[in-house]
Amino acid sequence: MIEVSNLVIRLGGRTVVDDVTFTARPGELTAIAGPNGSGKTTTMKAVSGELRHGGSVRINGHEVSTLAPWQLSTMRGVLPQASVISFPFTVHEVVAMGLTSGTNKRPEQAARMAAEALAAVDLAGFAGRFYQELSGGEQQRVQLARVLCQIPEPVSDGAPCWLLLDEPVSSLDISHQLTIMRLARDFCRRGGGVIAVMHDLNLTALFADQMILLKAGRLASAGSPREVMTDNQMCDVFGCRLRVNTVPSDDTPFVLAHSAV
């Protein structure tokens, strides 16, 4: 369980996140959505323990600010938005960095875990390539493989583990968007928890169990995508007259930009 209560974050004298409260449960994919600058990434940084904040953030019952970096690193992995590396690391070397942050593993085991993580993000055979030579989307998936090496199991010692993904599909093609979202959902089904910052409302509607909608640093709405994605809510939060529709088969909501043009 990740419990965020009355979270307040001030950056440079401006309140960026104001009194946000939500709970992410293991077994569920929690998506944070909202317009640019609404505080999604900042909220994520508080959850990951990077930012000092008011209010409280608890992960599996522990206050995040009281945990040492290595303790946090065994409970949650974080996928950043974009990562530039100025040194010529190979893909294998980047992924294997995730391995070294946990307990020590035997070389063969480590190599197997790195290979499995790469296969999971559909990058099998990329181990020998240089990270800097890959496209943005491929780099993003290498980073995800690194995070999967750090958090290889959804449940560790009986406690759920967490993946915090900041726009995990932002630079991916549609097929890999689905690969990564399925991977996240699978991680949840096996007992882990995922919090993802999402811009794509349709993928959110398809995969999220809970949707947190932020507007100007405040919580606008929270609940299942079906509850959150309404015409009024979209108009209020995004400021454009979007019409929410539902898929005939199972009434999953969807939004097309067409409706606002």
Partner 1 sequence: MALNDTAAARRPLPSIGNGLRAARIAGDRSNLAVAVIILLFFAALASLAISVTTGASDASAFDVVRDLLFGSTGDAALSARDRIIIFDIRMPRAILGFMIGASLAVSGAVMQGLFRNPLADPGLVGVSSGASLGAVVMIVLAGSLAAPVHAFFGIFALPLAAFFGGLVTTLLLYRIATRGGQTSVATMLLAGIALGALAMALTGILIYMADDKQLRDFTFWSMGSIAGATWTKILAVGPIILASLFVVPFLARGLNAITLGEAAAFHMGIPVQRLKNIAIVGVAAATGASVAVSGGIGFVGIVVPHILRMVIGPDHRHLLPASALLGGSLLIFADMIARTIVAPAELPIGIITSVVGGPFFLWILLRQRSRLVL
CB 259, min distance to partner 1, A: 37
Residue 89 binding partner 1, by CB under 8 A: yes
Choose which of 5, 6, 65, 100 interacts with partner 1 (CB under 8 A): 100
Among 12, 13, 128, 158, binds partner 1 (CB under 8 A): 128
By C-alpha distance, which of 114, 187, 109, 185 is closest to 149?
114
Binding status of residue 198 toward partner 1 by CB under 8 A: no
- In the shown chain, the binding pattern of residues 26 to 55 toward partner 1, with x for contact by CB under 8 A and - for none, equals -------------------x--xxx-----
- Per rule CB under 8 A, count of chain residues that contact partner 1: 44
**What's the closest the beta carbon of residue 167 comes to partner 1, in angstroms?**
15
Report d(CA 107, CA 94) in Å as an integer: 15
Among 133, 186, 227, 236, binds partner 1 (CB under 8 A): 133
Among 1, 111, 159, 178, binds partner 1 (CB under 8 A): 111
Binding of partner 1 by 91 (CB under 8 A): yes
What minimum distance in Å lies between the beta carbon of 97 and partner 1? 6
Contact call for residue 83 and partner 1 (CB under 8 A): yes
Question: Could you say whether residue 80 binds partner 1 (CB under 8 A)?
Answer: yes
- The site for partner 1 (CB under 8 A) is made up of 45, 48-50, 68-74, 77-78, 80, 83-94, 96-98, 100-102, 111, 114-115, 127-133, 143, 150
